[in-house]
Amino acid sequence: MSAPISNVRPKPDKVLTLIADYATKTPIRSAEAYETARYCLMDTLGCGLEALEYPACTKLLGPIDPGTVTPQGAKVPGTKFQLDPVQAAFNIGAMIRWLDFNDTWLAAEWGHPSDNLGGILATADWLSRNEKPLLMRDVLTAMIKAHEIQGVLALENSFNRVGLDHVVLVKVASTAVVAHMLGCTYDQVVNAVSQAWVDGQSLRTYRHAPNTGSRKSWAAGDATSRAVRLALSRPELFLVQLRAMVRASAYGSLRIMIPMIASVHELRAVRKLLDQAIREVDEAGHKRAEHIPLGIMVEVPAAAIMADELSVIAEFMSIGTNDLVQYALAVDRTSRMLAHLGSPFDPAILRLIRRVVEVGHNRGRSVSICGAMASNPIAAVVLLGMGIRELSMEASAIAEVKEALGRVTLAEAEAMVQSTLTMVTAEEIESAAMAAFGARFADLLEAE
């Protein structure tokens, strides 16, 4: 006979108690943490308010039953709505994330910790209207703790790899800090966090074609551009991040790549701040790598045109074809009416790529491709013929692109590219590439 199953509840898992301990018992004493949180709060509110310019976002806001008003409810910034805290949290969270502008934390699991402000702001406003007013310092404390909980969990745990969406960490972190804000006991916080873990988690299918919604890509270029320019306008904040990266270089291979660079002035400013961060780490006696390469993403036409000058400072370059196509051809790739005009085979795009590749080779800088173009077997051969030797793509495309590249010789790829140099339309170039290799890749193209 099997042993009887005990009805005695076991002690909570250690991860639950660690989260609850931090959320309920750990004081935040770092002035730098509060200052960083304040900047993050302002940035996040700006992201949410900007999203109100988009009808696709605003149509989701408001009460479930139109016209309903909760007299003592939480207000949704920038709108007329006053809602119960649960619906208010959804509204504020949707605004914050809509344009893909808000902060990103990259670890084993990437995520956007300021997503937690949906729950934090709604709860803080609701509590202030119904119980006792909270201080902004209380909001900043909750922000810091939510960021830390989500960030630490993301360091060694990747839910993406098993098909679960990373917002599970937002749910866990928000649950811990909001439960504490609401006055829950320690045991209640543990129980609430436990429920957050076992609650059904989202599959991440909606982040990938053909299921992707338009919000996945809206204004991604502006997001990264804004990140660089905000960092440069707040050098003390950027320095914190750079010092952390410099110190991390002591424990493995590290390269720093700056997105959306559009001018030499911007890159010089970044280089100056990185040099300052290196000096400060050295003065503090911390270990670091002897050399930390600094590179750029080439995502706007200005960077491709100025590649020769930028490569004096940049030690490597990665061409972001999705944004380069969008900005060079003035095509919103999320628009069903315009997306077909944004072909990576457009001669303007290929000439910009070719220029960056030539500059890279002349200066001894590695040039890679990051974007959907690399996932297309025919386009990958074109890139090979142009001199690209590093491709970054979704994992699902690696096998077929590797197979495609294995079926052609370098000489064939180079000859095909040479034959297209005088062509002036995307249709001509793509047709020439298909004529050269389409039959050879028939099985791969059918699989797409």
pLDDT at 228 over 70: no
Q: What domains are there in the chain, each with its CATH number?
A: 14-207 (1.10.4100.10), 214-447 (3.20.20.60)
**Mean pLDDT, range 291-309, rounded to an integer:** 95
- At residue 378, the pLDDT reads 93
pLDDT range class, residue 238, cuts 50, 70, 90: confident
- At residue 216, the pLDDT reads 41
pLDDT range class, residue 160, cuts 50, 70, 90: confident
pLDDT at 26 over 90: yes
Output the pTM of the full model. Answer: 0.53
The C-alpha angle 118, 124, 128, rounded to 5 degrees, equals: 150
pLDDT at 46 over 70: yes
The 10s digit of each residue's pLDDT in 180-203 is 888 888 988 888 888 888 776 666
Mean pLDDT value across the chain: 85
The 10s digit of each residue's pLDDT in 368-414 is 999 889 999 999 999 999 999 999 988 888 999 999 999 999 999 99
pLDDT range class, residue 232, cuts 50, 70, 90: very low
- At residue 218, the pLDDT reads 31
pLDDT at 62 over 50: yes
pLDDT at 155 over 80: yes
The 10s digit of each residue's pLDDT in 108-133 is 877 788 888 988 998 899 889 887 78
pLDDT range class, residue 208, cuts 50, 70, 90: low
pLDDT range class, residue 157, cuts 50, 70, 90: confident
